[in-house]
Chain A
């Protein structure tokens, strides 16, 4: 536990909270890069995902492609683009946008696909046209899953900007890369704790947003579902019938 007290001593040291190498500056860099990556990825991925989910077209092209993207090692892609395109923020930004696309696309189309077809048919029968069905019926119902896709993309981006901090761009990962060659375990641990706390806070925030955007009707349906389940004894798990418990 000694290493932890050292790490917290490092975190408590006022000298680490000021200047261009201080924690606030590094945190702002990390958040700025993450936000920028996420905005670009959403602008590209959301229309694609909504198109696939709404029309059902293009699925067989995009789905295997996004699956294959998952096999790409993030560190390799960042280094490949950094070496290929030169210095600056652009190469890692491109790499990270590419990595953030699959979860957002998947969240959008699986969200739209999860919408009950009868609801869509009902919307059409009361006069909704294509865009009306999409924006006023499908998207609101799919919003929790769409936000879920953005949530996993965001966590992936936070993690990968940490790894990408070997580039001279800053970010919280800088503390880790500076600590490794010097075997400065207090800083290594402190930097790791900072990134983990940031990731968990962002994850919690997204969980909250997901709950807020869930339409009230869907939530009501869910509670009704639980109630019918508990009231009807036949739906209960029949494991009490198992001989060894009898």
Chain B
């Protein structure tokens, strides 16, 4: 505990660095996945070569996700011309993972929106854009949120690997703790990372409730229905 108190400023510095490294991949990854997921579905039932857009997108996403993180961090500098210690390498790699995870979720979530609902919106005069943002996106919202939560947790965890190539976050305490054979330091890194992941997750859940208040009501009513069914059954 003493070590934590005396080194608190270093811990909070690396904690903040960890948070700042985690946010861009999650946000940018989500922003890029949204149009990609839409495009994947847009041509799902068209004829000819465009039909392949969805399988090709999802296959590329799958391959991207199969690439191990540390080699990707090491590979990026020579691909995009950054320096090996540039945090941009980690940011871009984590954004690619976020996209790889989110494109499938976005495509599935948008595809699950009922055709009848989409037809009704069009019949009421919604333009394609307004229908997307006003009808399809909110209805796919819970699925997107679930995907975003997975992206968030895995991004926060993967940021620590950047410490191996010198992009420091709470992962610094893993490397430093190992070199000094000092367990407390490693625990600080692990607990700090898990706490950041949990806080991010909580914020996403709260954001979801705020943006999609109907999901909360639905859950209550379903629970109420289940309770009622149990009473009737008894």
Contact = CB atoms under 8 A, between A and B. Distances in A.
B78 A239 contact: no
Nearest to A81: B186
B48 interface: no
A73 B14 CA distance: 15
Interface residues of B, number: 57
A225 to B, nearest CB: 13
A238 B122 contact: yes
A114 B67 CA distance: 28
Grouping DSSP codes into helix (H, G, I), strand (E, B) and loop, the B interface class, with mixed when no group exceeds half, is helix
Given A71-B156, A71-B157, A79 B197 contact: no
B67 A75 contact: no
A173 B153 CA distance: 24
A84 B183 contact: yes
A73 B158 CA distance: 7
Contact of B71 (A72, A166, A176, A185): A176
B181 interface: yes
Contacts of B70: 159, 162-163, 173, 176, 192, 195
Contacts of A166: 164, 178
A193 B74 CA distance: 9
Interface stretch (B5-13, B125-133, B223-231): B125-133
A229 B41 CA distance: 14
Interface string B92-128: 0000000000000000000000010011001101111
A7 B74 CA distance: 12
Nearest to A177: B164
Contacts of B150: 70
B63 interface: yes
Contacts of B190: 72-73, 76-77, 80
B75 interface: yes
A144 interface: no
Given A73-B193, A196-B72, A242 B128 contact: yes
A180 B70 CA distance: 12
B113 to A, nearest CB: 11
Contact of A71 (B62, B66, B115, B193): B193
B74 A189 contact: yes
A230 B164 contact: no
**Main secondary structure on chain A at its contact with chain B?**
helix
A82 interface: yes
B66 A203 contact: yes
Contacts of B126: 242
Contact of A73 (B41, B42, B118, B157): B157
Contacts of A55: none
B71 A195 contact: yes
B160 A75 contact: yes
Contacts of B41: 237
Contacts of A77: 190
Residue in B42, B189, B198, B201 with the greatest tally of chain A CB atoms within 10 Å: B189
B47 to A, nearest CB: 9
A112 to B, nearest CB: 20
A212 B64 CA distance: 23
Contacts of A203: 62-63, 66
A76 B186 contact: yes
Contacts of A229: 45
B78 A185 contact: yes
B158 to A, nearest CB: 8
Nearest to A2: B78
A200 interface: yes
B37 interface: no
Contact of A192 (B72, B131, B182, B187): B72
Contacts of A188: 74, 84
Contact of B186 (A80, A158, A243): A80
Given A71-B153, A185-B78, A238-B115, A76 B72 contact: no
A243 B128 CA distance: 8
10 contacts: A70-B157, A71-B193, A74-B157, A189-B74, A195-B70, A196-B71, A203-B66, A237-B44, A241-B122, A243-B125
Interface of B: 41-42, 44-45, 62-63, 65-72, 74-75, 78, 84, 115, 118-119, 122-123, 125-129, 131, 150, 153-154, 156-157, 160-161, 163-165, 170-171, 174-175, 177-178, 181-183, 186-187, 189-190, 193-194, 197-198, 201
